[in-house]
Structure 1
């Protein structure tokens, strides 16, 4: 199981990023546990300068804007 954290204040883009991760996981048959981090101090400590940010298994893979679907699938496949 992959642990995914979506960093952001809860805006529409952050919610869309979470939905992208869940949809890609379903498509690939990958089991994920998605959590959201909305605390600004924790977002900054994770190295996210622009939201939404996405971390997979403790590694920050994206920050700022919505990622490409192909990128999300590649991150989950690795």
Structure 2
């Protein structure tokens, strides 16, 4: 099971990013675990300065904006 984390303070873009990941996983029939990380110290621990950011299996794969739908689908399927 892939483990995703959405890093951000809970802003609209963070919520949109989390929903996009959930929707892509549902459409692909892929089981994922999704966690929202909102504590600034935890976010900075990943070296992220711009949110929303996405962590997949412990590695930052995106930061600084809402990812494109094709990009999210590739993460889920890949």
Q: Deviations over 1:17-43 (max 9, x none)?
A: 000000000111110111011110110
Q: Where do 5+ consecutive residues of structure 2 fail to align?
A: none
Aligned residue runs from structure 1 range 24-43, under 5 A: 24-43=24-43
Aligned length: 78
Alignment-derived partner of residue 58 in structure 2: 58
Q: CA RMSD in A?
A: 0.7
Tell me how far apart the structure 2 counterparts of residues 21 and 65 of structure 1 sit (CA, whole Å): 14
Structure 1 segments (4+ residues) deviating >6 Å: none
The alignment's TM-score, normalised by the length of structure 2, stands at: 0.95
TM-score (norm 1): 0.95
